[in-house]
Amino acid sequence: MKTQVFTIQDPQASAEQLHTAGRILRQGGLVVFPTETVYGLGGDGTNPQAAADIYAAKGRPSDNPLIIHVADPEDALLRGLTAADNRDGDLTDKIIVERISSFSEHGVVSVDYVVFDQAGNLNRYTRTVTYEDYASPRLYLKSPLLYQVGEDIAIMDKLKLVDCQGNDITHRLKIQTSNVNDSQVGQYEFTASAVTDMGDEVFVRLPVNIMSYDANAPTIELSEYLVYTKVGEPFSPTDYIIGVKDMNGFVIHISEVFIFSQVNLDQPGSGQYRMEVIDGNGRKGYAFLSVIVTE
């Protein structure tokens, strides 16, 4: 896999790069990042293979434990609050989060707090909190939206929805519409939506391809089958091609791949890049890169 290097100064302006780093971590990969003193090597602490890869990369003895960092979102919600009364004095450490509302707008919630004194008296307080680094859930494709004519169409089996904290929330995703005809070659589409616990609604529309192709056709392997980009940003679909081979495993140069765009990068929406390659026997292989363009 090609190493990707990102320079991040403003987390909000670099959300796309941070999402990429998060995806790599979720898939068991490793990410190098600067700390105050040295560069750290990070991975998913719940993934045994990722932990093993860190030990191998650093040459670290197996009896030298790794440190796992765990975020506590409630600490951040309590930041800046104090509480006291005349009898018990400082009660700041007794403040608890009672309720967090759904989003009133993107990333904005109302948080209700409550604090009790030793006599059981209580007081409540509500304030508006903005999650500055919040991003809506993103959809991932486990494989391309490509099917043979007559093949059983199970779109949900290819989909994965992940929130900005890395949680798999695919169970919230529902197919809303689909015009796919599995008995006829063509390009079709489906729509899907999900609503998070915070009331954030996600809606996607993606193409589905029904093809008739030779099982021995050459293959185009992609690093991802669905990517997000922003309006007006440079985008190169060839960056996602990691290998092209014929049925015997012989490498075909990437320059032999023809790419046809069905993506408008100048406005929000979705589409795909269709990739084709022909081997020496005239067999044609396909790949499809789905793209979602955001503002």
Question: What does the pLDDT look like over 264-290, one tens digit per residue?
Answer: 999 999 999 999 999 999 999 999 999
Topology given in CATH for the domain delimited by 73-130: Immunoglobulin-like (2.60.40)
Task: Give residue 71's pLDDT.
Answer: 61
CATH class of 213-295: mainly beta
Query: What is the number of other CB atoms lying within 10 angstroms of the CB of residue 35?
Result: 7
Question: What does the pLDDT look like over 16-25, one tens digit per residue?
Answer: 888 788 888 8
Top-confidence residue, 197 or 84: 84
| Residue/partner pairs of 110-116 with CB below 8 Å, 24 or more apart | 111/77, 113/78, 113/81, 115/83, 115/91, 116/91
Task: Give residue 37's pLDDT.
Answer: 66
Task: Give residue 10's pLDDT.
Answer: 73
Is 207's pLDDT higher than 90?
A: yes
Question: DSSP state, 6?
Answer: -
**H or E element at residue 20:** helix 15-26
Mean pLDDT, range 242-252, rounded to an integer: 94
Is 34's pLDDT higher than 90?
A: no
Question: What does the pLDDT look like over 124-175, one tens digit per residue?
Answer: 999 999 988 788 999 999 899 999 999 999 999 999 999 887 788 999 999 9
Q: How confident is the prediction for the chain on average, in pLDDT?
A: 90
3-class SS letters over 140-164: EECCCCEEECCCCCCHHHHEEEECC
CA angle 106, 111, 116 (to 5 degrees): 170
Do 73-130 and 135-212 come out as alike in CATH topology?
yes
Beta strands (DSSP E) in the chain are 31-34, 39-42, 84-85, 89-90, 96-100, 108-116, 122-130, 138-141, 146-148, 159-162, 174-178, 186-195, 201-211, 219-222, 226-230, 241-245, 258-261, 269-278, 284-294
Is 11's pLDDT higher than 80?
A: no
Place 89 in a pLDDT band, splitting at 50, 70 and 90: very high
Query: What is the number of other CB atoms lying within 10 angstroms of the CB of residue 192?
Result: 20
Domains of the chain by residue range: 1-70, 73-130, 135-212, 213-295
- Assign domain 135-212 to its CATH architecture: Sandwich (2.60)
Give the integer Cα–Cα distance in Å for 77 and 100: 10
Q: What is the pTM of this model?
A: 0.68
Place 70 in a pLDDT band, splitting at 50, 70 and 90: low
Place 213 in a pLDDT band, splitting at 50, 70 and 90: confident
Task: Give residue 123's pLDDT.
Answer: 94
Give the integer Cα–Cα distance in Å for 146 and 158: 10
CA angle 115, 71, 100 (to 5 degrees): 40
Give the integer Cα–Cα distance in Å for 164 and 49: 23
Task: Give residue 108's pLDDT.
Answer: 92
